């Protein structure tokens, strides 16, 4: 089974970035809202979208990041909300839920991971515009989504001893195992079964973005406007990662890369990636060989899970009923 660590990593982002606003005590308000989109058996309302956009803007200002044009921002936030609704709808079909005790446990782990008490954590999220009830609802949704992903993907994945051996013998591991990498990513997505024309168009789009980046355009701004990754609203930021956590398509490229280098387009089943090395630092030693093997196995699992997740999300989105309601 996949460790709870993955859920904690996902949930930590709620402290510093924006997920969809949970309904909570806004149900009466939302019943009077204009419907923006119908997603299977759910709807997305104007107030949900507006509040999500507002909090994204606050985060961008706090991080001194240029706010993209409103149309681009609305599209990205709405896309994120749709994906969330699709996953929660799947959870209902699968009978997956989260108890109050599950949420208490998750919040306690998040607080401890940030060296905070639970009360202090609630104060922090309140300062960022979320009430305690809204935050608990957010964590409930993230917890349920994690369980959906685990049930749909996690039980199918395994890391063999041979995979660990092969990775630890690789040139990338020998050269880079003592480092951690702060990566940013722009993904030009491909559909599940792309035509040759779609592949060529996506590659051309990625090459044009690469040209703009080489002339000084901000990587995070390009990620906001063009990336189809679920990290687009964070400017493509993948955070600090050890080598086994880094997608396999990127790992060997890192051997030749330095801080601020950009590489791409790199083709994967999901599309074309452009990566930026925002930072490199020494990594903590993993201990003896047994400890190293166990850690590599865990991190390879997380890498494989993440790669499978992107394909699965593309599939479930394509199978969902989504109707974006036009104004007027």
Cα separations in angstroms, 214 against 174, 209, 210, 222, 224: 30, 9, 6, 12, 17
Residue 72 φ/ψ, nearest 5 degrees? -65, -40
Pairing mode, strands 237-242 and 262-268: unpaired
Q: How many domains does the chain have?
A: 2
My answer on whether 193 and 79 are in the same domain is no
Closest CA to 82 of 328, 327, 325: 325
Task: Say which residue the tokens 């940030």 belong to.
Answer: 114
The answer to whether residue 61 sits within a structural domain is yes
Query: The domain spanning residue 73 has which CATH number?
Result: 1.10.4030.10
My answer on whether 191 and 278 are in the same domain is yes
pLDDT, residue 15, reads 46
pLDDT, residue 136, reads 93
The answer to whether residue 24 sits within a structural domain is yes
pLDDT, residue 188, reads 93
Q: Which residues contact 190 (CB under 8 A, 6 or more apart)?
A: 198, 199, 202, 269, 270, 271, 272
My answer on whether 222 and 122 are in the same domain is no
The Cα 246–Cα 252 span in angstroms is 10
The answer to whether residue 238 sits within a structural domain is yes
The Cα 226–Cα 232 span in angstroms is 8
Alpha helices in 115-239 (DSSP H): 118-127, 132-152, 161-169, 171-176, 196-214, 219-226
Q: Which residues contact 134 (CB under 8 A, 6 or more apart)?
A: 21, 22, 24
My answer on whether 99 and 165 are in the same domain is no
pLDDT, residue 6, reads 45
Query: The domain spanning residue 279 has which CATH number?
Result: 3.10.50.40
Sign for the CA dihedral angle at 188, 316, 152, 114 comes to positive
Beta strands in the chain (DSSP E): 35-39, 42-45, 179-189, 237-242, 262-268, 271-282, 322-324
pLDDT, residue 105, reads 93
Of the three residues 92, 125, 152, the one that is the final residue of a domain is 152
Compute how many other C-beta atoms are within 10 angstroms of the C-beta atom of residue 16.
14
My answer on whether 263 and 186 are in the same domain is yes
Q: Encode the chain (328 residues) as per-residue pLDDT tens digits.
A: 344 444 444 444 444 433 333 344 444 444 457 899 999 988 999 888 888 888 788 777 766 677 777 888 888 889 889 999 999 999 999 999 999 999 999 999 999 988 899 999 999 888 877 789 989 998 999 999 999 999 988 878 889 999 999 988 888 887 777 888 999 999 998 887 788 999 999 999 999 999 999 998 889 888 988 898 888 888 889 999 888 888 888 887 888 899 999 998 999 888 999 999 999 998 776 667 888 888 889 888 988 888 888 888 888 888 889 998 865 4
pLDDT, residue 24, reads 41
My answer on whether 245 and 272 are in the same domain is yes
My answer on whether 12 and 141 are in the same domain is yes
pLDDT, residue 163, reads 92
pLDDT, residue 90, reads 92
What is the pTM for the complete model shown? 0.71
Rg of the chain on CA atoms, in Å: 20
Query: Which residue range(s) make up the domain with 304?
Result: 161-316
The answer to whether residue 223 sits within a structural domain is yes
pLDDT, residue 13, reads 45
The Cα 180–Cα 246 span in angstroms is 10
Of the three residues 99, 119, 152, the one that is the final residue of a domain is 152
Compute how many other C-beta atoms are within 10 angstroms of the C-beta atom of residue 78.
19
Of the three residues 108, 134, 152, the one that is the final residue of a domain is 152
DSSP annotation of 243 reads: G
């Amino acid at each position: 089974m996949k460790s709870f660590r993955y859920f904690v990593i996902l949930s930590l982002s709620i402290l510093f970035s924006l997920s969809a606003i949970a309904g909570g005590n806004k149900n009466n308000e939302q019943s009077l809202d204009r419907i923006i989109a119908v997603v299977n058996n759910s709807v997305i309302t104007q107030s949900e979208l507006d509040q999500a956009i507002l909090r994204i803007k606050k985060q961008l200002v706090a991080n001194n990041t240029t706010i993209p044009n409103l149309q681009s921002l609305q599209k990205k936030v709405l896309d994120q909300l749709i994906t969330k609704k699709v996953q929660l709808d799947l959870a209902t079909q699968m009978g997956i839920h989260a108890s109050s005790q599950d949420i208490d446990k998750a919040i306690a782990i998040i607080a401890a991971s940030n060296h905070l008490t639970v009360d202090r954590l609630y104060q922090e999220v309140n300062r960022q515009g979320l009430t305690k009830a809204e935050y608990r609802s957010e964590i409930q949704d993230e917890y349920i989504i994690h369980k959906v992903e685990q049930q749909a993907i996690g039980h199918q994945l395994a890391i063999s001893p041979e995979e660990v051996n092969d990775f630890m013998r690789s040139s990338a591991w020998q050269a880079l195992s003592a480092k951690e990498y702060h990566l940013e990513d722009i993904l030009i997505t491909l559909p599940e079964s792309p035509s040759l024309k779609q592949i060529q168009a996506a590659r051309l789009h990625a090459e044009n973005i690469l040209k703009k980046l080489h002339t000084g355009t901000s990587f995070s701004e390009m990620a906001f406007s063009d990336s189809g990754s679920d990290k687009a609203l964070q400017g493509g930021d993948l955070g600090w990662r050890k080598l086994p956590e880094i997608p396999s398509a990127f790992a060997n490229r890192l051997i030749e890369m330095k801080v601020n280098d950009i590489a791409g387009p790199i083709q994967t089943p999901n599309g074309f990636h452009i990566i930026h090395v925002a930072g490199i630092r020494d990594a903590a030693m993993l201990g003896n060989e047994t400890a190293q093997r166990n850690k590599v196995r865990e991190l390879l699992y997380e890498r494989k899970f993440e790669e499978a997740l992107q394909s699965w999300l593309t599939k479930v989105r394509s199978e969902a009923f989504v109707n974006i309601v036009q104004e007027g």
